[in-house]
Amino acid sequence: MSRADHAWRDVLQSFEAAWDEWSAMEAVVHLELFLEAEGLLIEEKTAHASPDGQDRFRAA
Instruction: Specify the pLDDT at position 57.
Output: 52
**Rounded Cα gap, residues 2 and 9, in angstroms:** 11
The whole-number pLDDT of residue 49 equals 56
- Spatial distance between the Cα atoms of 26 and 18, rounded to a whole number of angstroms: 8
Question: What are the C-alpha distances in Å from 35 to residues 12, 42, 46, 59?
Answer: 12, 9, 20, 41
11-28 pLDDT, tens digit per residue, is 888 888 888 888 888 888
Total-model pTM: 0.53
